[in-house]
Amino acid sequence: MDVDGCCPHYECQCICYGWGDPHYVTFDGTYYGFQGNCSYWLVKEILPKYNFSVMIDNYYCGEPDGLSCPQSITVFYESYKIFIIQKDINGIFTNQISVNDKRVSPAYQNGDFRIVTTGIDTVLVIPKIHAKITFSGLIFGIYLPYNGFAGNTEGQCGTCDNNRTDDCMLPSGKIDPSCPHMAHEWHVNNSNCEPVPPKPTPPPNPCDKSMCEIIKSSVFEACHKIVDYGPFVVACEFDVCHMHINHIGCISLQTYADVCAESGVCIDWRSATKGLCEYKCESPKVYQACGPQVEPTCDSWYNQKFIYMADAFSAMTSMELEGCSCPNGTILLSSNSNECVPSCELCRLPDGKYKQANATWTEGCKQCICEEDVLQVACHPLPCPAQPSLSCDQEGQIKVTDTTGCCPKEKCGK
C-alpha cells in the first residue's frame, strides 16, 4: 500500500541467493558468476537503520580451475553476531551455529530472532525487520522486505530498488559494468584474500548436461511460472562442465528447489536424479522432500514454543522444506537427541536413556518398572527366596552370612 494507505502497487521483494562455485542472483534478479577466496559483504545498509548486514566466507574448492565455494555465513543484527558453518562429520553434513561466539543448538529462539534446521537447511528469521536468511553449506538465501530495505542495500547482492542497472555498485558508489569485478571489491577489511585465479577454460570434451534439463522438465513445472529457472540452468551447465564432480549439478537443482519452496511450492526432485542427488540422513532419521521446519518432539514445552504457538516467529517458519526427520510411526524423543521412539509414553532414566511405559528391568539389586499412570520409575528391592534351615553341628563350625550377590545366604564356616 502507498503511504496514505489508499492505493496498492506491486513491489518485488529483496531476494538474493548464491550457490555452487558460487553463482549469484542479486536482489533485482541479475545473475552473475564469481570466484574469490575471501570474506565478502553480501549485504550492508547504505544508511544504518537496523544495524543489519551479512558476510560470507569463500574458499577454493574446484582445482585446477580455481573455483570457490561458500564456507560460512555471518549475520550481524543490532548487538548480535550469528555465525553458521557447515561441516562434514563422518560423511554427514551438519550445520553448526554460534550466537556471539557461543554455540547454540536449533531450534533456538530469543526475543529478537529464531534459528531452526531441517537437517539440510538452517533458517534464521528476524520478525521485527521481516528478514530471513537460509544457509545449507553451498547455498545461501537472503529475503528482505522491500518496504524496509528499498534503495538502502549495497554489497554483492546489489541495491534492492527494482532497477538492475545499478546492481553492480562498488563501495565508492560508482557503477561497475562487470558484476564479477564489483563482487571482488566487497571483500571484508583485514580478511585474507588470495589472488584471483584465471578464469576457467572450457573443457576440450563435451560434457553431460542432462541433469540440468531436469530443472526445465515437468518435475519443476509447478514452479516455472513463479521463479525463473534460467539462471539455475546456466549455473548448472557451468558447474558440470568445469568442476568435474559427478553430483555438482545437484547444487543448482537444490537451490532452485529451495527458492521454489520459499515461494510456497515444495517439490520432490531428488527422486528424479536416479540416485545421483540422494541425500544421506543420519540414522535413524530419513529424508523427507517436504516437511516441517521444526520437527515435533516428546517435549511438550518445546512443541508449544516452536510449533503450536502462533506468533511472528512461527509465521516466518511455516513453509515446508526438505530435511531429515523420524520415520513414519515414530517421533523425535527430544530436540537435542537423534532418537526416534514409537511413543512419548516413556520414563526418563538418570543416564539419559528412556523406558517404555510398563517396562520392567533389573537395576543392581532392585526391580524397576516404568509406571504407566505417572511415567515415573519405581524401584523396589529384589525379593529373596526363603532359605532352608542350616545346621552347623560339626566341630569348629559356625554359621556365617555370605553377602555375595543381592540376597544374603547362610553357610557353615570354620
Long-range CB pairs of 179-183 (<8 Å, 24+ gap) are 179/24, 179/26, 179/30, 179/32, 179/34, 180/32, 180/33, 180/34, 180/35, 182/156, 183/24, 183/32, 183/34, 183/36, 183/40, 183/156
Evaluate whether residue 33 is within a structural domain. Answer: yes
On whether both 316 and 179 belong to a single domain, the answer is no
Is residue 232 scored above 90 in pLDDT? Answer: yes
Same domain? 160 vs 307 = no
* In a domain? residue 328: yes
Report which secondary-structure segment, H or E, holds 312.
Answer: helix 312-316
Q: Are 93 and 86 in contact (CB under 8 A)?
A: yes
138 with 121, same domain: the answer is yes
In a domain, 313, yes or no: yes
Cell numbers describing residue 17: 541467493
Residue 1 domain-assigned?
no
Q: Are residues 23 and 171 in the same domain?
A: yes
DSSP state of 92: E
| DSSP reduced 3-state for 181 | helix
Query: What's the rounded Cα separation, in Å, for the pair 412 and 402?
Result: 10
Q: Taking a C-beta distance cutoff of 8 angstroms, is the pair 281, 93 a contact?
A: no
CATH number of the domain bearing residue 165: 3.40.1000
CA nearest to 286, candidates 320, 329, 236: 329
Average pLDDT over residues 119-145: 93
Q: 117 and 182: one domain?
A: yes
- Distance CA(331)–CA(347), nearest Å, equals 15
**Are residues 188 and 293 located together in one domain of the fold?**
no
Q: Please enumerate in sequence order all residues whose Cβ is within 8 A of that of 326, keeping only pairs 6 or more positions apart, or say none.
A: 284, 285, 286, 295, 332, 340
Local structure of residue 187 (DSSP, 8 states) = B
* pLDDT per position as a tens digit, 37-95: 788 999 999 999 999 999 998 766 654 444 566 788 999 999 999 999 887 777 667 78
Is residue 154's pLDDT more than 90?
Answer: yes
Q: What is the pLDDT of residues 353-363, one digit of tens each?
A: 788 888 898 88
**Site of grid cell 571483500:** 187
3-state secondary structure of 358: coil
Q: How far does Cα 380 stand from its chain's mean position?
A: 45
| Ramachandran angles phi, psi of 338, nearest 5° | -120, 40
What average pLDDT does this structure show over 116-137? 93
Q: Tell me whether residue 171 is in a domain.
A: yes
Q: How confident is the model at residue 255 (pLDDT cuts 50, 70, 90)?
A: very high
Same domain, 52 and 137: yes
Neighbours of 366 (CB within 10 A): 13
CB 182, CB 34: distance < 8 Å:
no
User: Is there a domain that residue 371 lies in?
Assistant: yes
**Which of residues 192 and 131 earns the better pLDDT score?**
131
Co-location of 296 and 364 in the same domain: no
Task: Give how far Cα 69 sits from Cα of 33, 57, 138, 389, Å.
Answer: 11, 9, 6, 81
Residue 301 DSSP symbol: H
Q: What is the pLDDT of residue 219?
A: 95
Q: Does 363 share its domain with 337?
A: no
Mean pLDDT of 201-214: 74
Supply the pLDDT for residue 243: 73
Summarize pLDDT for 390-410 with one digit per residue, the tens. Answer: 888 888 888 888 877 788 888
- Shared domain for 292 and 171, answered yes or no, is no
β partners of residue 174: none
One domain, residues 313 and 194: no
Pinpoint the alpha helices (H) of 90-229: 146-149, 179-184, 213-216, 221-224
**pTM for the whole thing?**
0.81
> Structurally, how many domains does the chain consist of?
3
Same-domain pairing of 337 and 369: no
Predicted confidence at residue 216, as pLDDT, reads 95
Q: What angle do CA 163, 165, 170 make, to 5 degrees?
A: 110
- With respect to residue 7, please indicate whether it lies within any of the assigned structural domains: no
CA distance 74 to 233: 28
Answer yes or no: is 245 within a domain. Answer: no
What residue numbers bound the domain in which 75 lies? 14-198
